[in-house]
Structure 1
Amino acid sequence: MAKQVAEVEIHAADSQEHDDDDIDISVDLIDDGLYLGNLACARDQKALESLKITHILTIDLVPLPRSTLARPNLTFKFIKLADVPKEDLISHLPESIDFIKQAIESGGTVLVHCYFGVSRSAAVVIGYMMQKYGLCYEDAFTLVKSKRRFVGPNIGFVAQLRLFGHMQYTVNRDDPRFKQFRLKMAGQKLKQVKILPQLFADLVKPDPGLIRERPDPIVYRCKKCRRIVANQSNIIPHIPKQVKIELAKKGIRPPPSKLTGLTCAENGQLLIEKLKSLACQIMDGEEKVIEDANGVQEEGSSQFPDGYTETHMVDESVSRDASAACRLMWFVEPMAWMRGVTSQPGGKLHCPQCDHKIGSFSWVMGCNCPCGQKVAPAFYLVPSKVEWSNIVQNVQITV
């Protein structure tokens, strides 16, 4: 790991490439073959030559100018991203990290930059360091900040980097936390354009009531007509609010990797085990039945614009543990049988066979689970209207 900090201070006015930009070049050596800097550095030929840069990764709203892209012996990659908490950084992390790794493995030197080299590019470099050294976000941030003192990813990027670590430094589309994150991103887009963009079409899952070669053995059926409306894989679990309160009191967090020697993923699993234990204590003996709940909150009440926090969602390994996840309402993914989910911000959910009301959905405002936890977006089935079953033969043909 590199122990030196390389700083180049060259006035942009000294280069015709910078036109009217009056910002100084700022760049720092973060790791072997890896520099983190600003736009001025990426546009300055002398700076690039002095640092022996061979690859440039741009994370910005616009690519580098043609005069820069036309330079020989340089390899470029452009990621279009705005520096706002609601932007989808995590989906770009794998390709960005691969670009950095391949450049360094080939003997090259990489410059990762955005406009100032503070948030977007810093977030990508932190993600790279997390994966390379098996670090949790906090340790990777501290390491990068020790090399470039003014790095500071926005709050949404920070949450996504933590999620990236808990998914073992990859993007697992089956992870319920990632599903909820993408649903929140989709809800924000649907609010703007009044229809679900094609980019998020994969979020609407196939109808589980149709015959499949390998049906899920655990299903959820309309109590009135026994029509299957969800599989276990469609369930998105959440931690009860009472558990969150206890977690806050006890201060349960993933232990820092520099103290435990564990990877971020192992730290996340340790947290999950603590959640299971604590949830069992709290939920034990609490068997009240809530017939229905439509606790819709006002728009904007969610504290987490990024759609992910460690104490909000539970890992997929916990989702099948009824004592750890809330059982008072079943939150699910949007599915093909749900009328209006691709064109309406919210509405009621009716059984596709008997038209009996079995739940509701809200892309933007979400709803309160009876346990008190806010979930947004929310697609939920009410336990009094839907029954759980593990009989595979209940899978039926629907039209």
Structure 2
Amino acid sequence: MTGTTPRDTTGPAGRTRWPILAVALALAAGCSAPAAERVGTARTPSAPAATAVSQPPPGDPRVLTKNLAVPWGIAFLPGGDALVTERDTARLLRVTASGEVSEVAKIDEARPDGEGGLMGVAVSPAFDKDGFVFLYYTAASDNRIVRYRYDDRTLTDAEVILDGIPKGAIHNGGRLAFGPDGYLYAATGEVGDRQLAQALGSLAGKILRMTADGAPAPGNPFQNVIWSYGHRNVQGLAWDPSGRLYASEFGSSSFDEVNLIEKGGNYGWPEVEGVGDDSRFIDPVVTWTTDEASPSGMAYADGSLWVGALRGSRLWRVPVAQDGTVGAAVPLFENQYGRIRAVTTAPDGSLWIGTSNKDGRGSPAPDDDRILTLTPTP
């Protein structure tokens, strides 16, 4: 779930636990946050900055493009241009490395509503040969994944490769990404029906793994497209250099999470939220209080996971060791850019970061929404 409403106002279904990682040093552009803020104490956020400086110092983001509307997904084409989805307009955009924006298509079959709309986008790892682009969107009756051929800046040959993913006003998941194994992964939410997360007969509340045709990928644990389950609402997927998959996940009223995803793993929702120390379920490797995060897009770069926070209005950096263990999460750019939804690693190693201040839960600046670029520094 995104933002401050609703976070299941009836309270968590199961037990809640303390986070296993303490939040460490707060880094904001130009100054450190007070100690009370570094541990997620409730506070009144300042207004997001309206513009970025024209020549930001090293390590600070710069504005690549502006005046967008809820850029949700970012995926790169060969050559460095990106395809960007706008959730609420159902537009697919092409954004160049210099910030020029052009409309590729408007997906008429998408039905934006609540947290649904045009969301994930992925470019085939064999794009030079097949020209395939994949979109995840909310249709009239379900969420679905559709494959297109992208040629001469247009979309053709639409083919639904997976449908029947439950849709709802909340918790639609939506992230698409190709893994280092060459298969397509999709993150789904439980659409507010908690029990669906544990039901292996439902595609809701899962991470899915499939071929480019939508068939179960070889080696899947349940002879279908499900890779892991027991998720509430996953919106971020990222792999480290060793091929380990991490996922960011919205909690209910206590803890948001980053999970290290295992084949066939059960991540506990709705029985647990946060760390459960229950042998039936896999505990998260990072937790935050819900006011610090509402984690959405996530990418790996420069030895860390970079996690966009919606309600938390910041970018989290989570160091990852070579053995996959994670260090203390560090908050960056608190309350400077508002809600952050999209985080993707560009071919040159920089991060592209999309704000989400026009999603009905933010306070848009005059030039929102924006895509920022950041070159990670040690």
TM over 0.5: no
Give the TM-score of the pair, scaled to structure 1: 0.23
**Which structure's CA Rg is the greater one?**
1
More strand by share: 2
More helix by share: 1
Q: Bigger relative contact order, structure 1 or 2, given CA contacts below 8 A and separation 6+?
A: 2
Give the TM-score of the pair, scaled to structure 2: 0.24
